[in-house]
Amino acid sequence: MVVFGNVSAANLPYQNGFLDALSSELMGHNSFRIPISSQALKTRTRRRTSCPLQVVCVDIPRPELENTVNFLEAASLSASFRSAPRPAKPLKVVIAGAGLAGLSTAKYLADAGHQPLLLEARDVLGGKIAAWKDEDGDWYETGLHIFFGAYPNVQNLFGELGINDRLQWKEHSMIFAMPSKPGEFSRFDFPDVLPAPLNGIWAILRNNEMLTWPEKIKFAIGLLPAMVGGQAYVEAQDGLSVEEWMRKQGVPDRVTDEVFIAMSKALNFINPDELSMQCILIALNRFLQEKHGSKMAFLDGNPPERLCMPIVEHIRSLGGEVRLNSRIRKIELEDDGTVKSFLLTDGTTIQGDAYVFATPVDILKLLLPDSWKEIPYFKRLEKLVGVPVINVHIWFDRKLKNTYDHLLFSRSNLLSVYADMSLTCKEYYDPNRSMLELVFAPAEEWISRTDSDIIDATMKELEKLFPDEIAADQSKAKILKYHVVKTPRSVYKTIPDCEPCRPLQRSPIQGFYLAGDYTKQKYLASMEGAVLSGKFCSQSIVQDYELLAASGRRNLSETTVST
């Protein structure tokens, strides 16, 4: 498929920190420019200004997702908001946080006829999918975001917004670097002619470079209880790490080393000795039970404009409101312990009929009122802690050859996954130079290190992945510039025994709700989990309409009497 695009972008400058003094340490990003010649600068300028962006690429057609059970279930939930009885008096719902969870909550509340007011602390949409434009017009992102076929609520959301064409689907493969053979890759190719789970089984059986036949057989035997026991068995494995579960099931350690270190880091930015096995089993279940479950797509440009803004436009078209630079300082309470208002850092007080916190769990914990902290529902949140992650972008002076138009699993000690975004993304397309976007994880020991330290370490790893093209000393490919985005508290760390601590979206405080991938839903810490949590949160509010409306009338009456 030949695609020609003309992409424009509004500048969304970055504002340090989530909560000024309260939590400035939770987020940060930095950039560095390597001095380059005036001729190189002229070449870059000509590329950007001589004509509108034109991209020629071959995309894999969108897979048939609409008839899967999970897609239909997600579509039914979406439709329930549009078909809900129109409220006599729409609720004003104040939502903190314009990441995917907050945007989803506001979108579906607006679909149900209510009036969401979405408040974002920073001057950029997206939360953990935020991105910024530098002075050259290049975008750099919080993370490397992949949209799977097994994301039914996300796929429905794209369809509801009419932006299915903004996903660039890749061939149905998983591609792993081979550390023992620098510069080489091993593939798991899922044949389109076979249904699930046969296509996944075929992909595994056909790959003889990473696992031996005895290892495959032992792994398959180890997985049998999960296949037979279903969801109940999967949830019961939350108490074991990936490493512990594998050894308990008699799976050779080499299976963990060859496959599940990379998979663990891709799913939650931590290693198998920390990650809950429940997380792996949920992913395997989705990938093996749905024909296109593990098929991947990239967004065709920066997430704030290409995904978040269509949601905002939809919300506004239905009477909702979205405000940036609206940072919450305090949750103010009534005498009975319910929410009276959100107090912003500029002194503004925001009141509503219901309130939602759709921020990361670490931000919520910083702002919890003291009188709520001993309530078991909130106290259990103490175990949920965001995991640190670093996203690295490096622009090189040439087009790298040893790469694919796909997500790549690095299998390195320091890097998780990476992609040459000059190939995989239309807006970032460049026929002459590569831009590698890499997830640096686990990042706990590196989050406080300097950007130059991180880049030096990254280059040493890239030397192994591109032995003929990249040298750590830059004697081969030269760095033109880089950006390093540090997120000290990203998605919640999915360690064993976290599942009982994840809260339902409806809190015990009347009129106060939560949304976020850490809240209770079956897709754990993911974009799909964030979107689904927003739908569950909206569903709870719609179900509570009569109670919330009556409470609003009572509060209005009391205010009238007191004045």
Q: How does pLDDT run across 294-351, given as a tens digit for each residue? A: 999 999 999 999 999 999 999 999 999 999 999 999 999 999 999 999 999 999 999 9
> Could you give the CA distance from residue 360 to residue 526 in angstroms, rounded to a whole number?
12
pLDDT for 370: 97
> Could you give the CA distance from residue 66 to residue 23 in angstroms, rounded to a whole number?
42
pLDDT for 47: 41
> Which uninterrupted H or E stretch holds 250?
none
> Could you give the CA distance from residue 143 to residue 490 in angstroms, rounded to a whole number?
10
Asked if 128 and 50 count as a contact pair (C-beta separation under 8 A), the reply is: no
pLDDT for 286: 83
Residue type, 34: I
- HSE-CB at 257 with a 13 A cutoff on CA atoms is 9
Q: 341-386, pLDDT tens digit by residue? A: 999 999 999 999 999 999 999 999 999 999 999 999 999 999 999 9
Quick one: what percent of the chain has pLDDT higher than 90? 82
> Could you give the CA distance from residue 380 to residue 372 in angstroms, rounded to a whole number?
12
Neighbours of 51 (CB within 10 A): 9
Greater confidence (141 vs 7) lies with 141
CATH class, 191-294 region = mainly alpha
Residue 28's pLDDT band (cuts 50, 70, 90): low
Inform me whether the pLDDT recorded for 562 exceeds 60: no
Residue 146's pLDDT band (cuts 50, 70, 90): very high
> Which uninterrupted H or E stretch holds 466?
none
Provide the CATH topology of domain 386-492: Polyamine Oxidase; Chain A, domain 2 (3.90.660)
> Could you give the CA distance from residue 504 to residue 486 in angstroms, rounded to a whole number?
29
> Could you give the CA distance from residue 194 to residue 178 in angstroms, rounded to a whole number?
27
> Could you give the CA distance from residue 506 to residue 537 in angstroms, rounded to a whole number?
7
pLDDT for 39: 40
Tell me if residue 131 falls in helix, strand or coil.
strand
In terms of phi and psi (left: phi > 0; alpha: psi -120 to 50; beta: otherwise), the region of 551 is: alpha
Question: How is residue 561 written in tokens?
Answer: 């009497």
pLDDT for 14: 32
pLDDT for 1: 33
Which of 18-22, 203-207, 215-219, 377-381 shows the lowest per-residue confidence on average (mean pLDDT)?
18-22
Residue 30's pLDDT band (cuts 50, 70, 90): low
Average pLDDT over residues 387-394: 98
Q: At what angle do helices 309-317 and 100-111 cross, to 10 degrees?
A: 30
Cα angle 183, 184, 186; round to 5: 150
What mean pLDDT value characterizes the chain?
Answer: 89
> Could you give the CA distance from residue 221 to residue 284 in angstroms, rounded to a whole number?
15
Asked if 94 and 356 count as a contact pair (C-beta separation under 8 A), the reply is: yes
Inform me whether the pLDDT recorded for 7 exceeds 60: no
By C-alpha distance, which of 9, 290, 45 is closest to 152?
Answer: 290
pLDDT for 361: 98
Neighbours of 345 (CB within 10 A): 16
Residue type, 461: E
Q: 81-111, pLDDT tens digit by residue? A: 999 999 999 999 999 999 999 999 999 999 9
Question: How is residue 251 written in tokens?
Answer: 């799976």
Inform me whether the pLDDT recorded for 245 exceeds 50: yes
Residue 268's pLDDT band (cuts 50, 70, 90): very high
- How distant, in Å, are the alpha carbons of 49, 137, 298, 299, 419 from that of 53? 9, 12, 18, 16, 21
Average pLDDT over residues 253-278: 95
By C-alpha distance, which of 11, 41, 144 is closest to 480?
Answer: 41
What residue ranges do the domains of the chain occupy?
Answer: 111-120+301-384+496-561, 191-294, 386-492
Average pLDDT over residues 457-481: 97
pLDDT for 554: 59
Inform me whether the pLDDT recorded for 163 exceeds 90: yes
> Which uninterrupted H or E stretch holds 395?
strand 389-396
Quick one: what percent of the chain has pLDDT higher than 70? 88
Average pLDDT over residues 188-214: 93
Check if CATH label 1.10.3720.10 holds for domain 111-120+301-384+496-561. no
Most confident of 18-27, 425-434, 552-561: 425-434
Question: How is residue 14 written in tokens?
Answer: 């970055």
Question: How is residue 549 written in tokens?
Answer: 């409306």
Residue 56's pLDDT band (cuts 50, 70, 90): very low
CA dihedral 122, 128, 129, 131 (to 10 degrees): 50
Residue 289's pLDDT band (cuts 50, 70, 90): confident
By C-alpha distance, which of 517, 523, 491 is closest to 231?
Answer: 523
φ, ψ of residue 70 to 5 degrees: the values are -65, -35
pLDDT for 298: 98
